[in-house]
């Protein structure tokens, strides 16, 4: 999502007459598009932002901007503007405004009240990759998983209009792009006035110049056999499903507010393997969520072995201020989180080898 947002910002700035440079050192303006999902991602930005001084205009954009709002200037006094994910369309105007005042780099501008992105921002025609386009089909998230900051920083789930999505896809294809990834925090819950996610997939598959397309990320609660049938039958659709498990302990899943159980998830993956023959299956897991006992961890460890994902991203739980889980103590010691993280990583490495062999 951030890769696409950065591209959108680049497109808007190019259209407004700015130029991209290869290295930040050569830039007059540096914009950091940021993530707040884990503390580590934020720490990297706080140290990175301090590096850029020397009279450059510095912008903090994306989820961290939304998270800290104008208070970001306290942590990063050399920053000039702070813009949340829903306000990125305003960046060219902010820059023009700042440049009018050249020499007054002390000026601070923040935009974090936006509710909706204007549709035009997706149609600048700028893509980083000449073969591959990322296409946002829904913004935000309304799931409020207990550990997650996304609904707070990216706002409630909003679906783009079906016709707008198709128009953007056609524009990308006209530019010679032949691969598209559909994006949403909860991509498979997509719905518009007259179509659902499977209909969108069918429509995409019918695009003449499209060679291959995929989607990211699916929530298990919105994933069903019909989606697998579509994946099996649509020839241009990648046989790849990223289905975040997070935990295989029903108790932890419940406190994470994930709305599914271990058995439901396991059955889903069995159906996937049966219907989408030879399909790739990947996942996300969080270790050390508050209250995760050894027994809960073991369930996750065992299920990962049983399902044998082709790849898994393993995260150590990181408390996010303002989220529901942050109201309970972060009671799994860091050392223990690291041990669980390592155990799963090691297991995953050997499973991946077995998968590759088979
Ligand atoms: N909308 C997607 C992506 C969410 S963020 C989804 O629901 O899967 C990507 C991953 O980051 C999540 O799947 C989760 O595994 C991880 N994550 C989110 N918040 C986290 C936190 N507070 N601590 C550790 N990992 C987290
Ligand atoms: Fe976060 Fe859950 Fe939404 Fe994914 S589905 S973005 S984990 S709240």
pLDDT for position 11: 98
Q: What six digits make up the tokens of 185?
A: 């925090």
The tally of CA atoms less than 13 A away on the side-chain side of residue 273 is: 13
Q: Is 195 in the pocket of ligand 2 (CB under 6 A)?
A: no
In order of their start, the domains of the chain are 2-111 (3.40.50.12160), 127-234 (3.30.750.210), 239-358 (3.30.750.200)
pLDDT for position 103: 62
Q: Is 73 in the pocket of ligand 2 (CB under 6 A)?
A: no
Give the burial class of 251: count Cβ atoms within 10 A of its Cβ; 0-12 exposed, 13-18 middle, 19 or more buried.
Answer: middle
Q: What single DSSP character describes residue 63?
A: H
Instruction: Please name which ligand lies nearest the alpha carbon of 290.
Output: 1
Judge whether 243 and 228 are in contact, CB under 8 Å. Answer: no
**Averaged pLDDT score across all residues of the chain:** 96
Q: Is 259 in the pocket of ligand 1 (CB under 6 A)?
A: no
Given a cut of 90, is residue 169 above it in pLDDT?
yes
pLDDT for position 73: 95
| Residue 296: pLDDT band with limits 50, 70, 90 | very high
Question: Scanning the structure block, which residue is given the tokens 């789930």?
Answer: 157
Q: Is 153 in the pocket of ligand 1 (CB under 6 A)?
A: no
Query: What's the average model confidence in pLDDT over 219-244?
Result: 98
CA distance 25 to 107: 22
Given a cut of 80, is residue 1 above it in pLDDT?
yes
Q: Is 184 in the pocket of ligand 1 (CB under 6 A)?
A: no
State residue 217 phi and psi, 5-degree precision.
Answer: -115, 145
pTM for the full predicted model: 0.96
What percentage of residues in the chain have a pLDDT greater than 70?
Answer: 99
Give nearest CA residue, ligand 2 atom 2. 145
CA 154 to ligand 2: nearest atom = 6
Q: Is 186 in the pocket of ligand 2 (CB under 6 A)?
A: yes
Query: What's the average model confidence in pLDDT over 281-299?
Result: 98
- Mutate which of 3, 39, 148 for ligand 1? The one with the most ligand atoms within 8 Å of its CB, which is 148
Distance 192 CA to ligand 2 centre (A): 20
Given a cut of 90, is residue 290 above it in pLDDT?
yes
CA distance 298 to 351: 16
Distance 253 CA to ligand 1 centre (A): 13
Judge whether 77 and 52 are in contact, CB under 8 Å. Answer: no
> Which sign does the torsion angle of CA 209, 212, 217, 220 carry?
positive
Query: What's the average model confidence in pLDDT over 6-16?
Result: 98
Given a cut of 90, is residue 352 above it in pLDDT?
no
Query: What's the average model confidence in pLDDT over 158-175?
Result: 97
Q: Is 222 in the pocket of ligand 1 (CB under 6 A)?
A: no
Q: What six digits make up the tokens of 25?
A: 């050192």
| Residue 100: pLDDT band with limits 50, 70, 90 | confident
| Residue 102: pLDDT band with limits 50, 70, 90 | low
Q: Is 148 in the pocket of ligand 2 (CB under 6 A)?
A: yes
Q: What six digits make up the tokens of 91?
A: 């960046």
How many other C-beta atoms lie within 10 A of the C-beta of residue 208?
Answer: 6
Distance 143 CA to ligand 2 centre (A): 6
Q: What six digits make up the tokens of 320?
A: 């996010």
CA-closest candidate to residue 91, choices 75, 110, 113: 110
CA 149 to ligand 1: nearest atom = 19
CA-closest candidate to residue 281, choices 250, 306, 251: 306
| Residue 105: pLDDT band with limits 50, 70, 90 | low
Q: Is 171 in the pocket of ligand 2 (CB under 6 A)?
A: no
Q: Is 244 in the pocket of ligand 1 (CB under 6 A)?
A: yes
| Residue 53: pLDDT band with limits 50, 70, 90 | confident
CA-closest candidate to residue 279, choices 235, 307, 239, 233: 239
Give nearest CA residue, ligand 1 atom 1. 185
| Residue 66: pLDDT band with limits 50, 70, 90 | very high
Angstrom CA distances, 36 to 55, 221, 233, 272, stand at 27, 24, 37, 32
Q: Is 151 in the pocket of ligand 2 (CB under 6 A)?
A: yes
Query: What's the average model confidence in pLDDT over 53-61?
Result: 88
CA distance 267 to 262: 9
Segment holding 297, helix H or strand E: helix 294-307
Lowest mean pLDDT among 13-27, 50-64, 258-272, 286-300: 50-64
CA distance 247 to 259: 12
SS (H, E, C) 329-356: CCCCCHHHHHHHHHHHHHHHHHHHHHHH
CA distance 218 to 188: 5
pLDDT for position 86: 97
Q: Is 150 in the pocket of ligand 2 (CB under 6 A)?
A: yes
pLDDT for position 104: 65
| Residue 255: pLDDT band with limits 50, 70, 90 | very high
CA 141 to ligand 2: nearest atom = 3
**Which stretches does DSSP call E strand in the chain?**
29-34, 57-62, 81-83, 109-111, 132-136, 138-139, 158-159, 179-183, 212-216, 240-242, 280-287, 311-316
- Mutate which of 186, 190, 245, 324 for ligand 2? The one with the most ligand atoms within 8 Å of its CB, which is 186
């Amino acid at each position: 999502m951030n890769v696409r947002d950065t591209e959108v910002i680049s497109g808007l700035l190019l259209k407004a007459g700015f130029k991209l440079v290869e290295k930040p050192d050569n830039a007059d303006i540096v914009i950091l598009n940021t993530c707040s999902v884990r503390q580590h991602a934020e720490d990297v930005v706080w140290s990175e932002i301090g590096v850029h001084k020397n009279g450059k205009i510095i912008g903090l954009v994306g989820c961290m901007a939304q998270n800290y709002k104008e208070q970001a200037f306290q942590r990063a006094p050399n920053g000039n503007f702070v813009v949340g994910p829903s306000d990125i369309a305003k960046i060219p105007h902010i820059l023009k405004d700042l440049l009018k005042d050249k020499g007054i780099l002390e000026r601070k501008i923040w935009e974090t009240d936006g509710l909706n992105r204007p549709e035009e921002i997706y149609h600048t025609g700028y893509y980083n990759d000449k073969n591959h386009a990322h296409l946002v089909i829904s913004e935000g998230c309304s799931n409020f998983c207990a550990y997650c900051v996304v609904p707070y920083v990216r706002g409630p789930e909003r679906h783009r209009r079906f016709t707008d999505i198709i128009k953007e896809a056609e524009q990308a294809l006209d530019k010679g792009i032949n691969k598209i990834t559909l994006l949403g925090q909860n991509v498979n819950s997509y719905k518009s006035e007259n179509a659902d996610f499977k209909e969108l997939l069918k429509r995409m598959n019918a695009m003449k110049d499209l060679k291959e397309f995929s989607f990211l990320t699916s929530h298990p609660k919105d994933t069903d056999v019909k989606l697998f049938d579509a994946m099996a039958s649509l020839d241009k659709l990648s046989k790849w499903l990223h289905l975040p498990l997070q935990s295989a302990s029903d108790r932890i899943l419940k406190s994470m507010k994930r709305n599914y159980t271990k058995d439901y998830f396991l059955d889903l993956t069995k159906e996937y393997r049966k219907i989408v023959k030879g399909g790739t299956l990947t996942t996300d897991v969080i270790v050390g969520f508050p209250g995760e006992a050894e027994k809960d961890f073991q369930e996750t460890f065992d299920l990962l072995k049983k399902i044998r994902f082709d790849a898994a991203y393993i995260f150590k739980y990181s408390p996010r201020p303002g989220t529901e889980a942050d109201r309970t103590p972060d009671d799994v010691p860091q050392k223990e989180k690291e041990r669980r993280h390592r155990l799963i990583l090691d297991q995953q490495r050997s499973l991946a080898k077995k998968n590759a062999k088979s």
